[in-house]
Structure 1
Amino acid sequence: MAEGRRERKKLATRAALRRAALRLALRDGIENVTAERIADEADVALRTFFNYFSSKEEALLATAAVGAEAVVACFRARPREESVLHALREAVLEVMDRDDVAGHEHVAVLRLTRAAPSLLPQQLSVLAAQERALAAAIGERLAAPDEAYARLCATTAFATLRVTLDLWLEGSGDDEVPPLDVLRAEVSRAFATLAAGLDR
């Protein structure tokens, strides 16, 4: 019981820090955000911040990482008889049905990453970790080991999702969340394109 409480407290502290980082970046600009200010905003010690994040960039992109981790977890839970791409599409759509993915917080992080070149190195680091985790999950699903296939699927799936999200955001104003049903339709169409093959 005590272990469960400690874990919940850790998760709550991590969430408070990433939300504080996002609030400050949106209000004052990324260049004016520091680890010290994030810790103050979340009402924790600076040492506590560094227990969870190595930099302000990592804290800012933690929301995107949480979304990707949820996709991998949902993919692992899909029925084994589903094809890899079908299971991936269903996992993505399942996560999208949760409030956090289509919410303002996630959209704000996506917009920040598009507008701030300083976030690119951390974005690439997060992306690499996401792709490794998904490739491992895909590899577990295969009847025979095929690392190249697993890595190609993982990389292509996340690239497809990024392109689809980017196009979805382009159709909206700075302060609005575009319709989720549009995103769901575009995700389904994009994964159908992958399944059919890209060679034309």
Structure 2
Amino acid sequence: MSTAPTLRTPMDAKRLRTILGEFATGVTVVTYRDTDGSPRGATMNSFTSVSMDPPLILVSVARRARACAGLEDNAFTVNILAANQLDLALHFAGRPADAPVPWHEPIDGPPRLIGTTAWLQCRPWRTYDGGDHVLVLGEVECHDTRLLEPLVFHRGEFRRPGLKLLQIPRTVAFDGRPTCEWVDRVHTLHALADAGIDNPPLDI
């Protein structure tokens, strides 16, 4: 018994990009040494952890990007940008800044950026076909972090994190029980403040 072939609707690339943009990510600059030894970098938000044993991370690099060839069998560092490093994100995304790049060049290994919230130095592990991108896996050899706010990318815009979820007033506990009466009063105060009322009534 034969069945009719399934008709596939043509993919709307713009719509797909918009939908994928609903997933908020951090922002990284992947740095490496060019063939002449010069430090290079590229802004990427397609970055994820892969394995803890061995310690592997992955970045997705556009095939047409200069970094695609630069990362081939080459050590690299993933620099996770801090919220105050928007200028670096734009610089390595093709909008060069006038200020000098804060490079740190260790005696051994690829260059990295100063002032980031974290960095991971990697040796090349594997590369895989990813369509119009190449999936580059690196084995983490050393790393470090600082307690800084990270830069965030969401809906095509750079942002910074807001309040921790547990700092936001709520009227129902996680187990479904009502919380204390004062929480409702905090909600009312927040609503009045958002409305621009400087002197709320005292009987709330």
TM over 0.5: no
TM-score by length of 1: 0.21
More helix by share: 1
More strand by share: 2
TM-score by length of 2: 0.20
Q: Which of the pair has the greater relative contact order for Cα pairs under 8 Å at 6+ separation?
A: 2
